[in-house]
Amino acid sequence: MGFFDWFKPRPTIDAALRAKIDQAAQAIDPLIRQIAGYERRLAPAVEHALAHCSDIARDIPGPYEISRAAFATDPLVHALFGSADAIDQMFATSQCVREHFAQMTLESDQCCALLGMRLHEKPGFGAQLEGEIVHADVPQRALYFTDHTLAEPAPDEAAARQRLSDALFDGLIKAIVEHVADVRAERADLDQAKAIAEARLRAGQATAVHTRRLASLQERLAATRDALQPQRLLETLTASLNAPDTLLHLEPIELCVDRTGIIRGGEAAGDVLRFARLTTRDPRHWIVLLARLDHADVRCALERFETARHFIVI
SS (H, E, C) 4-44: HHHHCCCCCCCHHHHHHHHHHHHHHCHHHHHCCCHHHHHHH
In a domain, 95, yes or no: yes
- Please determine, for residue 91, whether its predicted confidence score (pLDDT) is greater than 80: yes
Helix ranges (DSSP H) in 203-293: 208-227, 230-242
In a domain, 65, yes or no: yes
In a domain, 152, yes or no: yes
In a domain, 64, yes or no: yes
In a domain, 304, yes or no: yes
What is the phi/psi pair of residue 88, to 5°?
-60, -40
Least confident of 29-33, 158-162, 219-223, 293-297: 219-223
In a domain, 285, yes or no: yes
In a domain, 36, yes or no: no
Report the distance separating Cα 88 and Cα 61, nearest Å.
22
The pTM (predicted TM-score) of the whole model is 0.82
In a domain, 145, yes or no: yes
Question: Is the Cβ–Cβ distance between 243 and 179 less than 8 Å?
Answer: no
**Count: domains in the chain:** 1
Q: Based on the number of CB atoms within 10 Å of its own CB, is 228 exposed (0-12), middle (13-18) or buried (19 or more)?
A: middle
Contacts of 198 (CB under 8 A, 6+ apart): 214
Work out the pLDDT band at 101, boundaries 50, 70, 90: confident
The residue segments making up the domain with residue 302 are 59-165+246-309
The top-scoring range by mean pLDDT among 100-114, 228-242, 251-265 is 228-242
